[in-house]
Chain A
Amino acid sequence: MDPPMDFQVVVLAGGTSDKLSPLVSKELPKALLPVANKPLLSYPLELLEASNLKNIIVVVEGDEAATQVESWLSVAYMDRLNVEVVKTPGDVGTVGAIRAVAPFLISTDILIVSGDLVSDISPGAIAATHRRHGAAVTALFCPAPVSGGADSSTSGGKDKAKKPSRCNIVGLDPTRQFLLHVVSGAKVEKDIHIQKRIVRAVGQMEIRSDFMDAHVYAFKRTVLLDVLEKENLYSIKQDVLPYLVRTQLRSEISAKKENSADESSNGATKELPSEDININSAVPSNQNLRWLSQHREIAPSSYQDIHISDCDKNKSRLAKKTHKCCIYLSGKTQYCARLNSVQAFGDINRDMLGEASRITGYTFSAQNNVVHPTVVQGAKTTAGGQCIIAEGTILGDKCSVKRSVIGRHCRIGSNVKIVNSIVMNHITIEDNCTIQGSVISSNVQIQERASLKDCQVSAGYVITAGSEYKSEPLTKR
């Protein structure tokens, strides 16, 4: 990793999010929450590694969380990735987190990835799109989940509409490459104001409400640093991105810096022609074609005209400063989710067992499950399809496990039913328990004949014998 890397990646790993209580705690920060028995943070990191993006800064909120993440990283990734951990105080927002790492940012472009992203979309493809357009910012958007607001960053308990939840409103150009308008947060529910000149620039703007911001952004470093100087910014999603999109035809980002950045990026691209080719193949081919055809035409749209003319008369008085805001839309078959609520935690775990099992990296057996060879199963115990049982776990007789994840070194008694649940590590479940649709954190002890339905149990909790719980979070005092 000696030469300065082209893309630096900032992973925002968060701290101990309130939204995920009672699952997270000081002992178990969000980044290390097990998803299909792997820490959450390992998903974005592996994704980045797959795209050969190895220069990574992980930002963690809070001291203890940072220590934990750091120690985990040093074991798991030290030899594979060039990872640094930077800690920030809590509650500074995503912009605050970036401000904290700003001194470390040296490469031309910065990729910002949310640490709770579980996806199989190649960050390399996003980086390539960004580079190809010379964009100021490129954002990843994926189709919004159809039921329930997984992305309920504004309010916790949104009513679950049957329609796709409206997370963002985006405006796209006809080729779906440029982000022309974006609304997020509470403004989504209001009337939409769209600047005419931007519609005029493209002639045809597609406005969609069924895409969701996936919290993966590629920024030009100079742009990012310029924006960070502004005040009153808190969130990248709600402040920085809308700001850049809004000002894309009258950019206030200083031209001088831009030019120098362009030069350096030109230099950089010269060095890396091979990566470019690689990256192109990662982009869906039709988009690639579109891009090519667009470049062959002399003036495909006036939007391009504006950009072109901008380059031409950069020095003239009439020069309009512009910057490009691009969008990378994930394909329908690609998986993309953010783990930012208890609901999402359950959903993503289930998805890992089912439709998105490819992301986990496990090989599923003929029974469509993953049972570690060290697992001991008692007589007549069955592990059904879509199950993961990790090493060292012992199951008693006549147990039944369906569509569930069971962590390491759990001891499960006889005649226990576990359905649709996530059981973390070092858990003791005594005989005749029934666990449905629940999340059991590590070191929990469940005494015999207990019955849990749709509960979240915090770490170290003891559930007394014969007790019954329904739809409750159970937290240790």
Chain B
Amino acid sequence: MAQKKGGKSAASDDPEELARMPLQAVLLADTFNLKFRPITLERPKVLLPLVNTPMIDYTLAWLVSVGVEEVFLFCCAHAEQVKEYIGNSHWGQSHAGFSITTIESNFSMSAGDALRFIEGKNVIRGDFILITGDTISNMSLTEALQAHKDRRKKDPDTVMTMFVKRSKPMPLTHQTRLGNDEIMMAIDPETKQLLYYEDRFDSSKRAVTLDKSLLADNASLYLRTDLEDCCIDICSPEVLTIFLDNFDYQHLRRHFVKGLLHDDIMGKKIYTHEIDSSYTARVDNYRSYDTISKDIIQRWSFPLVPDVLYAGNRAQMRLQREGIYKAPDVTLSPSVRIGAFTAIGSGTIIGENSSVSNSVIGELCTIGRNVSIDGCYIWDSVTIEDGCRLSHSIVCDGVHLHTGATLEPGVILSFKVEVGQNITVPAYSKVSLLPQPSKQDSDEELEYADTNSGVIDSPSIASISPANIEHDHVSSFDTEQSVLLEGGLSGVGYIWTSCETGNEEEWRYSVAPIPVEKLKEFYAKMFDEDESSSDGEQTGITHSGELISESKSTDFDDSDGEYKGDVSKFEKEVEETFERALGGVAEENVQLEINSLRMSFNVTHAECAGAVFQSVIKSAIIASNSSKSNLLKATIDAIERSKGLLSYFITNVDEEIEVILKFEEMCMEITREFAPIFSSVLHQLYDKEVITEDAILKWESEKADADESDKVFVKQSEAFLKWLKEAPEEDDEDE
């Protein structure tokens, strides 16, 4: 019905569209993030069951219901599995209601890459719907599609209509419900044009800054935090071209939407469409997996509910009283207690005196006696022996829990993991048969999502050193044998450590409900944040020292030439490059990379030299293991090692002075441990010919009329300076 209306009006006056265009959709069957690891190492996210039906079925069913005729299914990770699934399911058949074409790419790292790849395929001919394979919706498209087409006719610069949904305007609600963060949007009340978009990556700032031109063009606008992004868009074909032109766009929202809004050069416009009564949500993390599963069981997503939408080959579940779904061939012992809002798949057997509540149990599971299951998601063919207690966990296919095992809230057991007798798996553990990749091989850009998690994530990323990760690896399970290890665990599988956010942040996205004290903390923090903002006029000032670097790093989004923030960002980038260099990248490549960074951040040579030097010093701190005695030696080593690099970037006296000043500044602020050995390091720099005598003397004279407090290091180096002044005379005498 939807496409009929849209098609008709388009055909009426646009000759180009006279031949009625079939409605196309691009379905991204890869979310390009790691939030569902370790499960997604073995199975693509879109095939994970949501109330016993793979997520992608919900998305496809919705696409059929809104009248989409051609679906381009983009798969990247585990492409074969997705293809195989589609091939075997009824979606691939001719009677499915649409044609489905899989596009496979193995090197796409982001949604941006995917769209660029699809553009290359040249298959999109008109407006299309862009959706990810983990979105559950039952909304109608008709109105929005029509509105989008009308807008397109009026203004060809309209490229996208974003669906948004109203929600309660509290970060707390966002956190407890879907585990996502609030979005701040400015929307024109008349045209619904999106004027400003801000997600949590800017949220370290406590104030929103709207450009004055926004109000100059619009007499009024709405600034809203009560909207949720539905992650469904109607796009014009130009979207693909824009992605092609801006090859650095990766993320749909963070890069594409913000890019279009902040750089007016393109003049492209994005509109929003607010839905009110229908259901839309995206499974973005374990928390939303939990929430959405419950929503489905409670039939908010009707008609996408378990007793309607089921395409498996086993018996379908039927709805009974109290929101209990049960397949007809479930074997329950009479003493089993089934609580409300529970789904039990076909062929599952549950033993005596067990209780199940608020849970989803898959097909062909065997559950023993006296087992208690609360708020769990148990997938197919799981064996749970007698006396196990499970609460708020996800248990994947083929897992075996031996007698008396206990899963504390938030546990994720990936495929075929075994938990030994009477073992308690600690809260928020993630266990998989596959070892955790020791080094995060993913694109840094993608990790950004998890590392830089805004104000509320107080532990800094830096605090989790590589050594830490290594250590945790040792304590993981021994594979293959069920032996007892020092942790008292037996079974099969590795415990993954969460290196992204640290264990203390696990509650945020976990499948388990947020503990009360964490909620309180979160709530209190929300207010503390408010409290500490001294004055509304002074914006963007962080309230605690720790966060300064984070807030600076997010500054780069306002590309209006605020280079102040850029320099620190630049320094960070250089540091990262440098760290990679220590890992064995050839020096020329590092030089090249830093040079290109310098150009892209538009910083001066001197600033660049300072940044390189800072990286060297920082590497020395890491190498010294923060013991003071080793520091000088480590510094000398570091300088020796990077001599080539330093001399490449430090070419003239000005840059040398900059380096000294930088070092001085570091000693006063970030790396105070260097303060006592300032003059020794200076001497070393001189010895290694990184810095010339001229520069040092000039530095001294520059400092001559500075404040007393600024002269600490000059004084410290007095002896060295004196020696320097005398030394040349000796040289002269020699000649």
Contacts and interface: CB of A to CB of B under 8 A. Distances in A.
- Name A's interface SS: mixed
B169 A194 contact: no
A196 B170 CA distance: 11
Interface string A182-203: 0000000111111111011111
Contact of B215 (A192, A203, A204, A246): A192
A147 B573 CA distance: 51
A171 B536 CA distance: 14
Contact of B530 (A163, A164, A210, A249): A249
A221 interface: no
B700 interface: no
A249 B537 CA distance: 15
Given A192-B209, A195-B206, A196-B184, A206 B220 contact: yes
A232 to B, nearest CB: 13
A207 B536 contact: no
Interface stretch (B54-62, B223-231, B360-368): B223-231
A166 B223 CA distance: 19
Contacts of B206: 195-197
B68 to A, nearest CB: 32
Nearest to B169: A203
Contact of A206 (B189, B208, B529, B535): B189
Nearest to B218: A209
B182 A194 contact: no
A50 B381 CA distance: 81
A190 B207 CA distance: 15
Most buried by B among A194, A195, A196: A196
Nearest to B215: A209
B229 to A, nearest CB: 15
Contact of B223 (A197, A199, A210): A199
A262 B284 CA distance: 48
A226 to B, nearest CB: 17
A246 B215 CA distance: 20
B290 to A, nearest CB: 24
Interface string B204-215: 011111111011
A205 B212 contact: no
Given A204-B224, A210-B220, A191 B169 contact: no
B701 interface: no
A227 B552 CA distance: 35
B209 A205 contact: no
A301 B203 contact: no
Nearest to A242: B536
Nearest to B226: A203
Given A200-B169, A246-B536, A249-B530, A193 B207 contact: yes
Given A197-B530, A204-B169, A249-B530, A191 B208 contact: no
A204 B205 CA distance: 19
B170 A204 contact: no
Given A200-B169, A302-B170, A191 B211 contact: yes
Nearest to A172: B220
A200 B222 contact: no
B222 A250 contact: no
A318 B205 CA distance: 23
Q: What size tier do the contact residues of chain A reach?
A: 20 to 34
Nearest to A208: B220
Interface string A61-83: 00000000000000000000000
B221 A207 contact: yes
A247 B537 CA distance: 11
Contacts of B259: none
A191 B211 CA distance: 5
A169 interface: yes
Nearest to B207: A193
Given A200-B171, A200-B182, A302-B170, A191 B224 contact: no
B209 A207 contact: no
Given A204-B169, A250-B530, A199 B536 contact: no
B220 A318 contact: no
A171 B215 CA distance: 12
B88 to A, nearest CB: 45
A278 B30 CA distance: 64
A320 interface: yes
Contact of A192 (B184, B212, B530): B212
Given A164-B219, A189-B212, A191-B212, A196 B207 contact: yes
Interface string B460-484: 0000000000000000000000000
B451 interface: no
Given A194-B223, A197-B206, A200-B225, A166 B215 contact: yes
Contact of A194 (B170, B208, B219): B208
A171 B224 CA distance: 12
A196 B215 contact: no
A302 B215 contact: no
A169 B184 contact: no
Interface string B521-550: 000101101110101110100000000000
A259 B291 CA distance: 43
A193 B210 CA distance: 6
Contacts of A246: 535-536
Contacts of B537: 193
B580 interface: no
B688 interface: no
Interface in B132-187: 168-171, 182, 184, 186
Nearest to A202: B169
A213 B642 CA distance: 63
- Max chain B C-beta neighbours (<10 A), residue from A193, A208, A247: A193
A190 B219 contact: no
B656 to A, nearest CB: 39
Q: Which of A171, A203, A249, A302 has the most CB of B within 10 A?
A: A203
Nearest to B187: A204
Contacts of A199: 169, 184, 208, 223-225
B83 to A, nearest CB: 43
Interface in B205-255: 205-212, 214-216, 219-226
Interface in A282-322: 301-302, 318, 320
Contacts of B531: 250
Contacts of B216: 166
A195 B215 contact: no
Given A200-B169, A203-B169, A318-B527, A193 B224 contact: no
A193 B169 contact: no
B527 A205 contact: no
Given A209-B215, A249-B530, A193 B208 contact: yes
Nearest to A205: B223
Given A191-B211, A200-B169, A301-B169, A209 B533 contact: no
Nearest to A194: B208
Contact of A207 (B168, B210, B226, B533): B210
Interface string A139-180: 000000000000000000000000110100101000000000
Nearest to A180: B223
Contacts of A163: 219
Contact of A193 (B189, B221, B536): B536
Nearest to B173: A302
Given A194-B208, A194-B210, A302-B170, A207 B524 contact: no
A250 B170 CA distance: 18
A250 B212 CA distance: 27
What 5 pairs between A and B have smallest CB-CB spacing? A203-B169, A203-B226, A208-B220, A246-B536, A192-B210
Given A195-B207, A209-B220, A250-B531, 6 more contacts: A189-B212, A192-B210, A192-B214, A194-B223, A196-B207, A203-B224
Interface of B: 168-171, 182, 184, 186, 189, 203, 205-212, 214-216, 219-226, 524, 526-527, 529-531, 533, 535-537, 539
22 contacts: A191-B211, A192-B210, A193-B208, A195-B207, A196-B203, A197-B529, A197-B533, A199-B184, A199-B223, A199-B225, A200-B170, A200-B171, A200-B182, A202-B169, A203-B224, A206-B221, A207-B223, A246-B536, A249-B530, A250-B530, A250-B531, A302-B169
